[in-house]
Amino acid sequence: MAIPVLDNRTARQIFLDRHLLAGITGKTTDLGALIRNLGFVQLDSIRTVERAHHMILRARQPGYKPKALKLLMERDRAVFEHWTHDASVIPMDFLPYWKMKFERTYPALLERFIEWRGAAFQDKLDETLRHIEAEGPVGVGDIGHEEERSGGGWWEWHPSKTALEFLWRTGRLAITRRENFNKIYDLAARVYPNCGTASLEETLDWSCNAALDRLGFATSGELAAFWKLISPAEAKTWVARELDVDRLEEIDVEGSDGRSRRHIARPGLLDTISDIPTNATRVKILSPFDPMLRDRNRTERLFGFFYRIEVFVPEPKRQYGYYVFPVLQGDRIIGRLDTKADRASGTLNVRAFWPEKGIRRSAGRMEALSKEIERLARFAECEETRYEAGWLRGAG
């Protein structure tokens, strides 16, 4: 039987649809359902315009307000904070699958933390738990005042800080809230609902199926990397089993360079193409940590878009800027925007827009970009937008 072939444009459309970026956004006001459909939302502290998690949600729900996520997490307990590939907000009903992650994480993380921070934090584990049980939730600044710090800057951890982080990552503690983006830890039993632990087989099956639902097509490695709950070898075994019973099929996906790569998909994926909404003109400014950009290699294959965050690149060596936002229009990434909110003056400063190769700065495209920049300014609570001289870069 011939292997189905997915052309590049159709592949991009399917991929964007699964990442809730196809067509006109804003049809749902159910934030919990939005996060569930995405799978997770990565957290990040940088607030050039707004923090990454808020930018991610706003790109899919234009009426989104940052306080809505806080209520969902702290009041409703509909989501919890833990790790996928990085710290993320995750639907609470996925928690049973993270229980296995807690157990698997313990021995490897213990070894890593001892090597990284020394063994002193082990003596603080029980003490930290007893303190929180008796005194209630704590932040890093509430304990360990007399302890010696190691390292410097943001990575300066004292033993009690290391204990807090270890106990959170291995499931004994949970993040109950954030204060000025600082974690406040409490006993997991006070934050998480009383739910069971999924078995390895249940976690494997759910992890791969749920990842494929959110990707549309994938390699076994991409399935494993989506949630970071299982190993690549486990995902490969699952794929082979599902292919054997015809619950999956192989498919060749064309990249932006015309070359194809073998993936797996559910049978009949090509039959769903006609249901994908399209909006070829609407521009969306994305967070660098948007789920569609999380796997930089996949983004480059599908969209021909190479991206790296230049936060840690010395300023003279930066190609674009400290924290540059990818710009999506229709099914193409059309450029990158360097912009920053000056909250003191209530101004969104637009420093530069670089179109991608082959993207024309047509009047219609620039008008759509301008409208999106104005929407972004309102989201950042800026009353004015200021365009720096020479902000339009590249060819016309």
Q: Nearest Cα to 175, choosing from 294, 83, 101?
A: 83
Question: Where do the domains of the chain lie?
Answer: 93-149+156-191, 283-385
Q: What is the pTM assigned to this prediction? A: 0.93
Residue 185 has pLDDT above 50, yes or no: yes
User: How far is it between the farthest Cα atoms of the chain?
Assistant: 69
| Domain at 283-385, CATH from 2.60.40, 3.30.70, 3.30.420, 3.40.630 | 3.40.630
Cα distance between residue 179 and residue 139, in whole Å? 9
Cα distance between residue 302 and residue 218, in whole Å? 12
Estimate to the nearest angstrom the gap between the alpha carbon of 271 and the chain centroid: 29
| Domain at 93-149+156-191, CATH from 1.10.3470, 1.10.10, 1.10.287, 3.40.50 | 1.10.10
Q: What is the pLDDT of residue 293?
A: 95
Q: What is the pLDDT of residue 49?
A: 97
> If you search the block for the tokens 């920049």, which residue do you land on?
373
Write out the H or E segment, with its range, that includes residue 284.
Answer: strand 283-285
Q: What is the pLDDT of residue 153?
A: 47
pLDDT bracket for residue 156 (50, 70, 90): low
Q: What is the pLDDT of residue 95?
A: 97
Coil, helix or strand for 87? strand
What is the 8-class DSSP label of residue 234? H
Q: What is the pLDDT of residue 150?
A: 55
In sign, the C-alpha dihedral spanning 206, 207, 209, 215 is: positive
Tokens of 193: 């609902």
Cα distance between residue 368 and residue 92, in whole Å? 37
Which tens digits make up the pLDDT trace of 263-300? Answer: 999 998 988 777 777 766 789 999 999 999 999 999 99
Which tens digits make up the pLDDT trace of 171-182? Answer: 999 999 999 999
- Which residues, in sequence order, are CB contacts of 74 under 8 Å at separation 6+? 176, 177
- Which residues, in sequence order, are CB contacts of 165 under 8 Å at separation 6+? 157
Cα distance between residue 173 and residue 171, in whole Å? 5
Which tens digits make up the pLDDT trace of 347-377? Answer: 999 999 999 999 999 999 999 999 999 999 9
Task: Report the amino acid identity of residue 193.
Answer: P
Cα distance between residue 327 and residue 256, in whole Å? 17
The mean pLDDT value of the chain amounts to 92
